[in-house]
Amino acid sequence: MTLESIITTNSLHPGLIMIAMGLLVMALPDKFKRPVYLLAPVLALGALFGINTKSTMVYAISSKLSIDLISFDNLALIFMVAYCIVSLIAAIYSVNGDNKYEMGFALIYAGSNMGVVLSGDVLALLIFWELGAIASCYIVYSKRTRKSTRASFRYILMHGFGGNMLLVGLIAYMCKYGTEIINLTGQGGFIFWMIFIGVAVNAAVPPVNSWMPDAYPESTIGGTVYLASFTTKSAIYVMIRFFAGTEWLVWVGAFMAIYGVCMALLENDMRRLFSYHIISQLGYMVASLAMGDGYGVDGAAAHAFGNIMYKGVLMMCAGAIIYATGKRKITELGGIGKQMPVTAGCFLIASLAIAGMPFLNGFASKALVMHAVNEGGYALASFLLTVASVGTWMSITLKFNYFVFFGKPVSGVPTPKEDIKPIPVNMKIAMVIGSVACIVTGVMPKLVYNMTPGMTDGHPFTPEHIIEYIMLFIGGTIIFFLFINRMKPHDELSIDFDWFYRVALDKFIEWISKGTYAVFVYFDKVVLKSCQYMGNHLGNPYLWTEASSNKRVQSMSFENEDRQIGNVIIAIIFTFVIMLIAAVIAL
Amino acid sequence: MMMEILEYLGMALVGGLLLVLISKFGLQHIIRRDCYYYESKEISEENQMLKKAGIKITDKTEGTR
């Protein structure tokens, strides 16, 4: 069988290019790793230019079964553009890395997520989904500290759970609908829920969200940039494909938005704080996609695009701070804006973008999201999402910039100048590119709107809309400074839903095993005593006869052939017990 | 326009206050724990298991602080 007969294609696959380059990075000698690592996203971007709606890549497993690796439309376009850009930015940022396996797995991870987006059927989706989970697990593990090792173990357990749910759901789905991806809105039932749970794990929907603040901060500084960009956004993409228009998801999204900011307000670890903000921002996307085609899907896709940009910058800035100071908690830092002007500037832009500051990309995509939710008639959900914007402003834009860069440190003492080492140029370049992307797509939102499936226009720059956000930020600022002492983070840990499997489940399993052990010990004792009794009394019939008050019994003799009578009695009783057990089982 | 400005400002003040109440006055007392809440439990459990197995306890705190 020739290659042409099993693969039918007219395009290059950006995801497969990334995966192949990832394998190459790991296989080649160390001196080649950096050029290949940088070249991979450039080639993927080049391949993306060659893809259109007629592109195809079909791999025939047998005459009856094939995998469709490329199916392209505007929804895939906006995610693919974001993925290629962020892959390039992340590669520039982390090109100085030493661990070629981490670099290789980062490319495989990015490529897998591109594969998910381009999947033409559920088989391709499932394969790339699982490959992405494995690759991301290594990225978490690659720091190789005790914490990162354990976090990666919990990460793979959670994603193993989600992956299995998805697998079961998709197998049932294929039996019913075939391999084509169709929207399941309004279906309900086993298939709907299995797929939803599987996707919800990756989308960090509470209560299956805690893997993210658990794992992301434990990875390397470069690894976290990759992690923050792909898994959750691919989950949103799959949610759009399967569940766009499922209206009750608007409440899930609103809850996620509020939950994320409440947790972020408490958080002290930089990257945990940003992880909670990812959950909050995912809430906007979930709420938007719940509203279905048009503004709903476009809002979710545009917000995912914007989120990939500004969240990437935030994670890169956090990594730069960790690189420069060796510290990762807000309470350990303060007043470093002057010593790290590029990082501080980029962070300011990204933190304003995530809050929804006019003329930055968050503002443009939130316009679509809010329009969709308001149009759907969900006033309370709209209010909750607006409150979440105020919370984002307070918990990241004000809190972080004030306590870390420009304001008064929590400890009262600014980080000493000599404790801050300069960061490499490549890291600065990556942060600046990301920040420029936030500004450009914020000032010219049509660049993003035109890539969305419905190409809807959010008309973000109306006076009313701009005034709305400015007033929200003024209100948030007043509250922030009114409660400034309360706003100070503390060097503590927030327990999340992971408590249930890290403590409660642990205790439950301990209780079950100790209980089982106690039951077995009890029955062991009973059986042992019975055997002793049987051995003593049936093995030696004189113990019975001598103890009897009956003279005739007392005078019984078991000499010679009668001596074996005890053994015969044991054999008879044993046979009887066996027969009794067999009868009970048979009945 | 003035009414809208006041409406949004009011919404921000009420919303911001609600978030502060929920997180800083509510959740703060319920879910905040010592930084090494999980790690200290894990390390002591591991040490106990090693002790029971008669294996020498080495430093298990690497990477936790």
* Residue in B23, B39, B63 closest to A262 by CB: B23
How far does A246 lie from chain B, in Å, by closest CA? 27
pLDDT tens, residue order, chain A (587 aa): 555 557 788 789 999 999 999 999 999 999 999 999 999 999 999 999 999 999 989 999 888 888 999 999 999 999 999 999 999 999 999 999 989 999 999 999 999 999 999 999 999 999 999 999 999 999 999 999 988 999 999 999 999 999 999 999 999 999 999 989 999 998 889 999 999 999 999 999 999 999 999 999 999 999 999 999 999 999 999 999 999 999 999 999 999 999 999 999 999 999 999 999 999 999 999 999 999 989 999 999 999 999 999 999 999 999 999 999 999 999 999 999 999 999 999 999 999 999 999 999 999 999 999 999 999 999 999 999 999 999 999 999 999 999 999 988 888 888 888 889 999 999 999 999 999 999 999 999 999 999 999 998 888 999 999 999 999 999 999 999 999 999 999 999 999 999 998 889 888 998 999 999 999 999 999 999 988 887 777 677 777 777 888 888 887 776 655 556 667 778 888 889 999 999 888 87
Is B28 in CB contact (< 8 Å) with chain A?
Answer: yes
A383 touches chain B (CB under 8 A): yes
End-to-end CA distance of chain A: 58
Q: What distance, in Å, lies between the first and last C-alpha atoms of chain B?
A: 54
CB contact under 8 A, B16 and A261: no
A259 contact B CB<8A: no
Radius of gyration of chain A (CA): 31
Yes or no, beta carbons of A391 and B19 under 8 Å apart: yes
Q: Quick check: A284 and A382 in contact, CB under 8 A?
A: no
Give the closest residue to A30 by CA, choosing from A100, A87, A81: A100
Instruction: Note whether B29 contacts A: Cβ–Cβ < 8 A.
Output: no
Quick check: B57 pLDDT over 80?
no
Residues A144 and A159: beta-carbon distance below 8 Å: no
* Whole-number Å distance between alpha carbons of A259 and A279: 8
What is the least distance, in Å, from the CA of B17 to any CA of chain A?
7
Which pLDDT value is given to residue A563?
55
If pLDDT is split at 50, 70 and 90, which confidence band does B4 have? confident
Does the beta-carbon distance from A478 to B13 stay under 8 Å?
yes
Per-residue model confidence (pLDDT) at position A423: 95
Residue B64, pLDDT > 50, answer no
Residue A122 confidence (pLDDT): 94
Structure ipTM over 0.90, yes or no: no
Nearest chain B residue (CA) to A257: B19
Element (H, E) at A391: helix A379-392
> Is B35's CB within 8 Å of A492's CB?
yes
The per-residue pLDDT for B55 is 81
Q: Do A262 and B20 touch (CB under 8 A)?
A: no
Kindly state whether B48 is in contact with chain A, defined as any CB-CB distance less than 8 angstroms: no
A495 to chain B: which residues are within 8 Å by CB? 31-33, 37
What amino acid occupies position A460? P
Q: What is the CB-side half-sphere exposure of residue A357 using CA atoms within 13 A? A: 17
Cβ atoms of A213 and A272 closer than 8 Å:
yes
Cα of B31 to nearest chain A Cα, Å: 5
How many helices (H) and strands (E) are present in chain A, helices listed first?
26, 4
Of B5, B11, B13, Cβ closest to residue A467: B5
- What confidence score (pLDDT) does residue A403 get? 95
Asked if A503's CB is within 8 angstroms of B8's CB, the reply is no
The closest CB to that of A471, out of B5, B20, B37, belongs to B5
> B4 φ, ψ to 5°?
-65, -40
Per CB-CB distance under 8 Å, the chain B contacts of A273 are none
**B2 close contact with A: CB closer than 8 A:** no
Looking at the complex, does the CB of residue A330 fall below 8 Å from at least one CB of chain B?
no
pLDDT at A561: 53
Residue A327 backbone class (left: φ over 0; alpha: ψ -120 to 50; beta: rest): beta
Give chain A positions within 8 Å (CB) of B64: 146-147
Model confidence band, residue B63 (pLDDT cutoffs 50, 70, 90): very low
DSSP state of A493: E
Spatial distance between the Cα atoms of A581 and B5, rounded to a whole number of angstroms: 82
Q: How far is B12 from chain A (nearest CA, A)?
A: 5
* Predicted pLDDT at B44: 86
* Predicted model pTM: 0.88
Query: Which chain A positions have a beta carbon within 8 Å of B36's beta carbon?
Result: 493
**Would the pLDDT of B42 be above 80?**
yes
Contact between chains at B4 and A464 (C-beta distance less than 8 A): yes
Rounded to whole angstroms, the Cα distance separating A306 from A287 reads: 16
